[in-house]
Amino acid sequence: MSTLKPIDSQNFDSEVLKSEKPVLLEFGATWCQPCRILEPVLEELAGEWGEKVTVAKLDVDEASQITINYQVLSVPTTMLFKGGEVLERLVGYQPKDKISSKVAAHL
């Protein structure tokens, strides 16, 4: 069971765009093998960051309009949102240290 916060069309605005803290959001899918490999990395980072960053996931098949709006063409795509803006965008599986350094620059 994932500890990543589930995001969907209903809560995207309130949980991501209007969040008081940065949100690292993985755009993924249940059928995506690289997404399944990335998830434990994101869970580990969530544990390290604690309350400083919300780490979440969005299923592209269930939130297709958001996926289109953010021009996600490949999964996994991970984006860092802060103040409703996308500050970082990582496409494909990324190692923990790369994700961590990209996010740390905005904390």
Q: Where are the domains of the chain?
A: 5-92
Give the whole-angstrom CA distance, residue 87 versus residue 11.
20
Closest CA to 95 of 24, 33, 34, 7: 34
CATH topology of domain 5-92: Glutaredoxin (3.40.30)
Q: What is the pLDDT of residue 49?
A: 95
Phi then psi dihedrals of residue 74, to 5 deg:
-145, 145
pLDDT digits (tens, 9 = 90+) for 31-88: 999 999 999 999 999 999 999 999 999 999 999 999 999 999 999 999 999 999 999 9
pLDDT band at residue 21 under the 50/70/90 scheme: very high
Catalytic residue numbers, as ranges: 32, 35
Region 1-22: mean pLDDT is: 93
Token readout for 34 is 């690289």
What is the pLDDT confidence band of residue 11, given thresholds at 50, 70 and 90? very high
pLDDT band at 3 (very low <50, low <70, confident <90, very high): confident
